[in-house]
Structure 1
Amino acid sequence: MSSKKVIKTIYAYLENDGNGALVRKGITESDHKLLDPFVTLVDFSVSPPGGFRDHPHRGFESVTYMLKGGIIHQDFNGNKGTIHEGDVQWMTVGRGIVHSEMPEEDINNGLQLWINLPSSDKMIDPKVLELSSSEIPRAEEDGVEVKVIAGNSMGVQSPFYTKTPIMFLDFTLEPRAQIHQTVPESWIAFAYIIEGDKGVFSSSDSSTIPEHHVVVFGPGEEVSVLNTSRSRTLRFLLIAGEPIGEPVVQHGPFVMNSRDETYMAIGDYRMAENGFEMAKYWRSE
């Protein structure tokens, strides 16, 4: 089985996003072609009174995965609740949704991944699905623990099935532990290092890559990772997906196939039509 080699590393710099949140952007617009179907990866930390107040989206799916604290969410379709530590919210925004995401506790840290939708699905009805931490299947063997949020690993299959097929795995490796994860050869794969600075990705002669880096893999059928540390655990997300192969034009919260389509999304939101009808009346609590 051929191993996927590292073709690029991206450091997610810490910055203030203006909403009272500190964010690390691991995937930006410059990475869209390289990382199709993935649009954005944000590692965020937010505390009151900051937060992400009422805002619109169209044209993609998002995965919010909480690492610490909680996020209170509401949307104009009546969905509301709190995503706590270890929980996942999967949101297909489709033709349009307006929602808010506000911090529950003093310290709240999570990850949000945006996954593109093909042009044929960009105007589908929105949908929100949540999995509590206890519902996420996991496996553990030889110093490796995995939480299987989407896809399968170590003989465990996630109940998540997405419009755009992906794999979303949260690995923790004890010191000197190693994993070999099968990934469909045609899929685009990357890792995001949450914790640890002694991880070796791809092969035993590669350099270690520290935390807060995105590690982009090339072609191959398997991703290998070794924690070379003798005292510290290594935690990372391994994410892979089937490329869509269509143009991607992102304008803020809208992800479409052309500039004209993003202008249309802006107009639909402002006029409260074509999927944004409820935006005229709804305000979050």
Structure 2
Amino acid sequence: MAASPFSNPRPVIKKVLSKQQPEGDGALVRRSIGRPELKELDPFLLLDEFSVTAPAGFPDHPHRGFETVTYMLEGAFTHQDFAGHKGTIKAGDLQWMTAGRGIVHCEMPAKRGRQHGLQLWVNLAAKDKMIEPNYQELEDKDIPKVHKDGVSVSVIAGESMGVKSPVYTRTPTMYLDFKMEPGAILHQAVPDGWNAFVYILEGELNFGSPDGPTIGAHHTVQLGMGDGVSVWNKSKAPCRLVLIGGQPLNEPVAKYGPFVMNTKEQVMEAIRDYQSGKNGFERAAGWQSDPVALE
């Protein structure tokens, strides 16, 4: 097996096993970024692999100061917010929500059975924290995909194998969903200076070299600095991973639940704004989501 083609391949500097924990109303998540062992990785605040069966879900709750990126792997979720935005995210679909100065919304199962996906929280720079909320939504058919030499990629954000995602990342971000057949090798460039990590959804993979550490499903693999990452699937089973990288903001982070700002005072202000219905939360007072009819 050939060595990595990168002059400075990114090494594994930490691996964290994501164990199931309760979240929302009866939901289960495997938290990777956001665990005590890896509280954040600038600009990323959280990554959850969620598994939800109705009536569990994530009922009405607020956000301010960052973006939530929901990528469905199986099943479907219905999203509603206090501005009247409503839609269903199905398997393979993406919702990139910029909460900005304030959103109150819910995320609930749209089908019976298991709903499975990933939600990533991307921090916003101080200059962007109070912008107006915005959505970018792509159906599975609109997400660019490439297959080559036993490796398939869905380009959620950024670029891979010569194709680019149409998603605009206010905080520069790459988000790539790879599937690797047995014996396949993946080499992916990562911009210089960006923080990056891998979350393994299925299988076991070797990192850095064919004889590098073997790491299995539900592990978060924090990568050191370098010009790219190399991954080998030496097993006899298919593997799946997401590679996520972003340009660090290098700004202070103050957070309390669904509010992420730069100072404790700004977080307290966000709580007061939400409670009193002002500065972006004017439509929060009295708003309730509609019950979701399951398919």
Is TM more than 0.5 here? yes
Q: Distance in 1 between matches of 2:240 and 2:96?
A: 22
Determine which of 153, 160, 164 is the counterpart of 2:167: 160
Q: Distance in 2 between matches of 1:245 and 1:86?
A: 32
After TM superposition, give the deviation of residue 205 of structure 1 in Å. Answer: 2.4
Q: Name the % identity.
A: 54
- Provide structure 2 residue ranges, at least 5 long, that are not aligned to the other structure: 1-6, 291-295
- The question of whether the paired residues in 1 share the 8 Å contact of 2:136 and 2:167 is answered with no
- Separation of aligned partners in 2, 1:95 and 1:124: 6
Map of 2:49 onto structure 1: 43
Unaligned runs of 5+ in 1: none
Residue 90 in 1 paired to residue 96 in 2?
Answer: yes
- Give the superposition deviation at 1:17: 2.2
CA distance in 2, matches of 1:17, 1:121: 28
User: Would you say 1:146 and 2:153 are equivalent positions?
Assistant: yes
2:287 aligns with one of 259, 282, 285? 282
Aligned residue for 1:268?
273
In the alignment, the residues of structure 1 paired with residue 25 and residue 265 of structure 2 have an alpha-carbon distance, to the nearest angstrom, of 28
Preserved contact between residue 24 and residue 59 of structure 2 (Cα < 8 Å)? no
Partner residue of 2:138? 131
Instruction: State the Cα distance separating 1:18 from its structure 2 match.
Output: 5.2
What is the alpha-carbon distance in structure 2 between the residues aligned to residue 275 and residue 256 of structure 1?
A: 15
Q: Corresponding residue for 1:190?
A: 197
Distance 1:16 1:149 in 2: 27
Partner residue, 1:10: 16
Normalising by structure 1, what TM-score?
0.97
Which digits, 9 at most, give the CA deviation of each residue in 1:201-227, with x for residues without a partner?
122221210000010001100110100
Paired letter, 2:247: E
Paired residues of 1:29 and 1:39 also in contact (CA < 8 A): no
Aligned residues: 282
Distance 1:27 1:50 in 2: 23
1:233 to 218, 233, 238: 238
Partner SS state of residue 186, structure 1: coil
Is 1:26 matched up with 2:37? no
Tell me which amino acid in the other structure corresponds to 2:73: L
Give the CA deviation at 1:281.
Answer: 3.5
> Retained in 1: the 8 A contact 2:24–2:58?
no
Q: Distance in 1 between matches of 2:180 and 2:129?
A: 37
Q: Which amino acid aligns with 1:283?
A: Q
Match of 1:279, SS state, is coil
SS at match of 1:260: helix
- Structure 1 stretches of 4+ with a deviation exceeding 2 A read 29-33
- 8 Å CA contact 1:16–1:23 kept in 2: the answer is yes
Greater shift, 10-19 or 214-223, is seen at: 10-19
Aligned to 2:124: 117
Match of 1:134, SS state, is helix
Structure 2 Cα separation of the partners of residues 18 and 90 of structure 1: 20
Question: Residue in 1 aligned with 2:61?
Answer: 55
Question: Whole-Å Cα distance in 2 between the matches of residues 128 and 271 of structure 1?
Answer: 25
Q: Output one character per residue of 1:235-283: Cα deviation in whole Å (capped at 9) or x when no partner.
A: 0000000000001112100111111111111110000000000001321
SS in 2 for 1:261: helix
Cα distance in 2, alignment partners of residues 180 and 264 from structure 1? 45
CA RMSD of the aligned region, Å?
1.1
The answer as to 2:247 corresponding to 1:242 is yes
Contact 1:79 1:128 in 2 (8 A): no
TM-score (norm 2): 0.93
What is the SS of the residue equivalent to 1:266? helix
